[in-house]
Structure 1
Amino acid sequence: MEITDIHATPGYSGFFFDDQRAIKQGAQQDGFTYDGDPVTDGFDEIRQAGETIVVDVELADGTHHRGDCAAVQYSGAGGRDPLFKAEEYVPVVEGAVTEAFVGRDARSFLENADALEELMVDGGRLHTAIRYGVSQALLAAAAHAEGTTMTDVMADALGTDPATEPVPVFGQSGDARYINTEKMFIKGVPVLPHALINSVEKIGQEGETLLEYVEWLRERSQELGPDGYEPRFHIDVYGMIGEVFGAPYDREEVVDYFGALEEAAAPYPLQIEGPMDVGDREGQIESMVELRQGLADAGVNVDLVADEWCNTFEDVQAFVDAGAADLVQVKTPDLGSVHRSGQAVRYCEGTDTRAYLGGTCNETETSARACAHVALATNAAQVLAKPGMGFDEGYMIVENEMRRTVARRAREQQLADTDEITADD
């Protein structure tokens, strides 16, 4: 079935763009905004409304299939593409992208997605947000043309056997790290709470505030969680442990702090994302390896999660090859086309690094649903609840999409098995 047109409409995403450098340099919150001037190119304010381009791929049968272009909350930081402004990129989608794909067979998802990754405009590759959104629409169009699920299309493209149960969902609390986390406990969310520890104030001058928070997580989970609840705690510290303690990261003071965090979380496992941010990929890898080895030598069982400077498929490869993390976040908007995220998850297979299919609060319900299918197709270790920072909505979207798909695939398999038995008789 041919692609006949592609349409692009500016819209809003599920959260905001934040100037991470300005925040790390001490910008103070004023209600929901921040005081001060932005320091990252492209920003007009330290916090500004998130944007998306709603992409519709039109097929010859008159149907339209949607994908949403999205970029991460901290755009322009850590080696990422610059701030995504929808109005600037609508002409690119309705121009060069449309010209490249009209007339193509919608069923050829992998071929189309690869062509999208290779498409050059004005001498450069498309912004990651464009590749991300258009590829979602191509995936949805392929599923429609084939009469199957996006999970099956992605699995065929990657050569995988999809998960038969929903992938564990990772809930993010935003700054409401107590109220939203209590919601997660009540719902029995398997991985939580993210917690948004992005300032020295939130971690404590000597790390004491985070330590108290982890103790609270353990105690409150036991009070509110369902019977048999065994959560995995995952906290993103945005490099703040490095800010508080500094290098080298395998020294006794740092390792002892991680040991205290492990003890505070026990008996539940603990994952710390982005323990430091040293400013470049190679330095980040070296520092993560140093810390990971120090923890291993001391018998401290806290998993490290790579995020900063682990943006592209090539970055994921570099972190995995170096053994720099127990998990790598596959930050879906930063990898471009959604199949590249699937390939990144697959790259972790056979290594001692697990794949966390992440993304950002600053996405949409459409991109979140597409990622739920990538998670199922690859059987990732965990998948992020998104978009937004309210928790409930993102969790509902991702969890329900996976449950719906697993149930549909089970029904279709049962029918196929029944038809096969009937044919044999």
Structure 2
Amino acid sequence: MQIKDVLLAQGNGAFFYDDQTAIGAGVPQDGFTYVGQPVTPGFTSVRVPASSLSIGLVIIDDTVVWGDMMGVQYSGAGGRDPLFESAQISGLTLRAVAPRLLDVDVSRYLDACAKVFEPFEDRRLPLALEYGVSQALLRAAAHLHRTTMAEIVCGEFNLPLPMRRVPIYCQSGDAREINVDKMILKAVDVLPHGLFNSRQKFGINGQTFREFVTWVATRTSEIGRPGYHPVLHFDVYGWIGLEIGMEPRSIADFICRVADTVPGFTLNIECPADFGSTQAQIDNYAGIVSILDSRGSSARIVVDERCNTLEDIRRFAEAKAAHLVQIKTPDVGSIADTARAVLLCKENKVGAYVGGSCTETDLSAQASVHISVATQADMMLAKPGMGVDEAFSIVGNEQNRLLAMLKRRRTQNENVG
């Protein structure tokens, strides 16, 4: 028995859970809060402080390794799991998961995940629960093998030790201009998200959005260091479809016009439209991708909504229904499935973006770094929070520390060989 006890600790997420449907419908914002009634089930207000639940595994040598469970900012939207409830998840963890944890070989990571995450009462465990427990299991395996979490992933999936850093993407929240300046001064690889989640922010016919895209490109040349040339990535929460129309060609036309205003930049457009179901999203996104490719556009489509689980990601990747798939880690469930999702995207020659949410924690962000580097994802999100500095520090520093350890490991292996 390698795990001899299980601990739980209530915690905070780094941001807030928001009712996306209510915000999209136009509830007014008053300072940092929203005035109006929530629409999505489970929300008692439009904006709710994010909660988390830590699970600690007490290993046989009395070391405690941790993982964090939480939901994503827009819980309950786009086919996602409902709002995270710590008390409910805590009870289920003690009832269904803790007994299994005491009876698995945690040195064998994928096998342990498979056994711990078997259905309970004929239902899949909540994805947030899988996410947190799988982080703790990964840390336990790394501790027992005296290695890094990334090396455990490489070993389980027969991957070579990575050498390349993964580009980091920062998100601005509503403090767009100030946070864009921070990102440029820190030479962030991909920026700035922008949070265009309402008609007011997107503008009539997308005019406000288009002006912001141009401003970001101009600002990059004004205050960025010589040679700095980031990827521009904007999340529009379906508002191109809502403002311009839901016909794929009209959406592609709009995106091409935006791309033409920032020549020389790669332009990522996340969630250009929400077509209401996973299959409709696949069919229409595949059409948009095909049109953009046929025109040789520098714009790339990024899928988020309606692409949550590993099975969803497989369907999008095989259909070429995106240039880049956001693997939204708490929505995927087990962090082992995040690794599988990256590899699945690579097999289908689709970009893999290890994302997540501003509601996450330092622990979940650090575990995501190890998955991203081990699988050599195309980019990863700086998380948690919306402040840029903290998230960029947590993710960037963890990645640099990891790459330093992997470099030493390669040198040791070469000397032995």
TM-score bracket, normalised by the shorter chain, equals: over 0.9
Superimposed CA distance per residue, residues 129-173 of structure 1 (whole angstroms, 9 cap, x where no aligned partner): 110001000000100000000000011122222431320001111
Partner secondary structure for residue 369 of structure 2: helix
- Counterpart residue type for residue 75 of structure 1: S
- CA drift of 1:207 comes to 1.0
The structural deviation recorded for 1:68 is 0.3
Shift of 1:419: 4.4
Q: Give me the TM-score of the superposition, normalised by structure 1.
A: 0.95
Report the 3-state secondary structure (helix = DSSP H, G, I; strand = E; otherwise coil) of the residue aligned with 2:261: helix
Asked whether the equivalents of residues 116 and 135 of structure 1 are also in contact (C-alpha less than 8 Å), the reply is no
Q: Does 1:288 align with 2:285?
A: yes
Provide the residue aligned with 1:107 in structure 2: 107
Number of aligned positions between the proteins: 417
Moved more, 60-69 or 6-15: 6-15
Which residue is 1:43 aligned to? 43
Moved more, 57-66 or 99-108: 99-108
Residue among 329, 332, 337 paired with 2:334: 337
Task: Tell me what 1:279 maps to.
Answer: 276
Stretch of structure 1 that moved more, 201-210 or 307-316? 201-210
Partner of 1:207: 206
Contact 2:307 2:316 in 1 (8 A): yes
Which TM-score applies when normalising by structure 2? Answer: 0.97
| Corresponding residue for residue 399 of structure 1 | 396
C-alpha offsets along residues 34-65 of structure 1, whole Å, 9 cap, x if unaligned?
11111111111111010110110110000000
Alignment of 1:236-275 (within 5 A): 236-251=235-250, 254-275=251-272
Contact 1:230 1:268 (8 Å CA) reproduced? yes
Offset, 1:202? 1.3
Q: Is the 8 A contact 1:150 1:373 kept in 2?
A: yes
CA distance in 1 between partners of 2:185 and 2:163 (Å)? 25
Tell me the SS of whatever aligns to 1:206.
helix
Give, in angstroms, the shift of residue 30 of structure 1: 1.4
Partner of 1:383: 380
Report if the CA contact (8 A) 1:116-1:337 is conserved: no
- How far, CA to CA, are the matches of 1:105 and 1:292 in structure 2? 44
In structure 1, runs of 5+ residues without a counterpart are 421-425
Deviation at 1:268, TM superposition (A): 1.2
Q: Give 1:16-415 correspondences, 5 Å limit.
A: 16-118=16-118, 120-251=119-250, 254-415=251-412
Aligned-partner SS, 2:248:
coil
Counterparts of 1:302 and 1:165, CA distance in 2: 25
SS at match of 2:360: coil
Q: Distance in 2 between matches of 1:405 and 1:267?
A: 32
State the alpha-carbon separation in 1 of the partners of residues 97 and 323 from structure 2: 38
2:265 and 2:298 in contact (8 A); partners too? no
Rounded Cα–Cα distance in structure 1 between residues aligned with 2:149 and 2:410: 16
Rounded Cα–Cα distance in structure 1 between residues aligned with 2:57 and 2:129: 13
1:362 is aligned with what amino acid? T
- Residue in 2 aligned with 1:423? none
Instruction: Give me the whole-angstrom Cα distance separating, in 2, the residues matched to 1:352 and 1:55.
Output: 36
State the identity %.
Answer: 41
Task: Identify if the C-alpha distance between structure 1 residues 28 and 136 changes in structure 2 by more than 3 Å, giving closer, same or farther.
Answer: same
Alpha-carbon contact 2:25-2:198 (below 8 Å) kept: no
Q: Is the 8 A contact 1:174 1:196 kept in 2?
A: yes
Q: Is there any run of 5+ residues in structure 2 with no aligned partner, and where?
A: none
Runs of 4+ residues over 3 Å off in structure 1 = none
Q: Deviations over 1:218-237 (max 9, x none)?
A: 11111222221120001010
Tell me the alpha carbon deviations over residues 264-301 of structure 1, each in whole angstroms, 9 at most, x when there is no partner. Answer: 22211100000001211111112212222222333333
How far apart, CA to CA, are the structure 2 residues paired with 1:208 and 1:294? 22
State the 1:247 CA deviation.
Answer: 2.1
**CA 30–99 in structure 1, closer or farther in 2 if over 3 Å, else same:** same
Distance 1:61 1:409 in 2: 25
Q: For 1:354 and 1:160, locate their aligned partners in 2 and report how far apart those are by CA, in whole Å.
A: 18
Matched AA of 1:137: A
